[in-house]
Each structure stands twice: as C-alpha cells, then as structure tokens.
Amino acid sequence: MYVLRTIKRPGCKRRVVNEILEIIDSVTTTWVTKEVYEYVPYDLKYQDVIVLIKNQKIIGFIMYTCLDGKIAMTLMAIHKDHQGKGYGTLIYEKLEENMKNKGFTTIMLQTIPPDINANYIKTIKFWNNQGFKITKRYNELWDHGAIEMEKNLV
C-alpha cells in the first residue's frame, strides 16, 4: 500500500527534507552528484514536491515549480531499494493529473545527456515512454551540458 501526497514548499519540514535527502543519498553517484544533496534543502523552500509514501516513509519524490508558464520538474528520485517497480511512473502521473487540472499545458525537464553519462539512456527512455520529446540541448549548462525535454498536455 502506498500514498501519494503533494507538499507545498516543504523546506521547513525537517522530517520531509531528511527523508528526501536519504533518497538522494541512495542514488548519489549513479543518478545525481553530491552537489544535489547540498542544494535540495534550499530548493525545497521554494518548490513543491509530490512524495510517494510506503510504510509511513517517503520512498520517492518529484520536485517541481513553474517557469515561464510551464511546469518545470527539477528533480525526481526513487530510493535505490524501490526502483524498477513503477513508482516513478505513479509519481509522474499524479503530477501530470494535478497540472492538467490547474490548466497547465506543458511540462518540461532538464537532464544529463546520455552521451555524457550512459546511465541516462534509461532516463531518456523513461521520459520518452511518458510522452516527452527532446526539445533542446544546452552545452553550456551544468559542467557537462543538459538536454531539455517537454510534453504537451493538450
């Protein structure tokens, strides 16, 4: 049994932040860099999050905000012990449903190019399966460049 819950700007909720940091710690080096762990407590003061709770513990999350009239997903992670079970899709589908209901027409994200880190072949495939398309590549963003992906909700 699991619960999906939206939490508005949880940066002051120590338990929520700590559980999200535990998830990030579990995927650091495979999916995220150490800097992400350092920045997330600040980001959570200004961004909303949908969490997946199982046995009263957060096991996955998606952080998001609004940028130029689009929903911008800024970080998503599932604890390494719970990956491959469809939880990422559940969290994303909840976000999409919520944003459609609020009238948003586009969701976007940025991720690491798979030619920079082969692990991100899976990431691109995951987002393609959710209906996202690559729209831009930024060579100057982050230390290694980024790919922007978008999905039109209408």
User: Who wins on pLDDT, 112 or 101?
Assistant: 101
Count of domains for the chain: 1
Helix 14-27 vs helix 34-43: crossing angle, to nearest 10: 160
Question: Which residue range is the domain that position 46 belongs to?
Answer: 2-152
pLDDT digits (tens, 9 = 90+) for 26-36: 987 777 667 78
Give the CA angle between residues 88, 20, 83 to the nearest 5°.
Answer: 30
Which of 14-23, 46-55, 69-78, 110-119 has the weakest average pLDDT?
110-119
Whole-number average pLDDT of the chain: 92
pLDDT at residue 72 is higher than 80:
yes
Collect all residues with Cβ–Cβ distance below 8 Å to 140 and sequence separation of at least 6.
none
| Domain of residue 107, CATH code | 3.40.630.30
Q: How far apart are the first and last CA of the chain?
A: 31
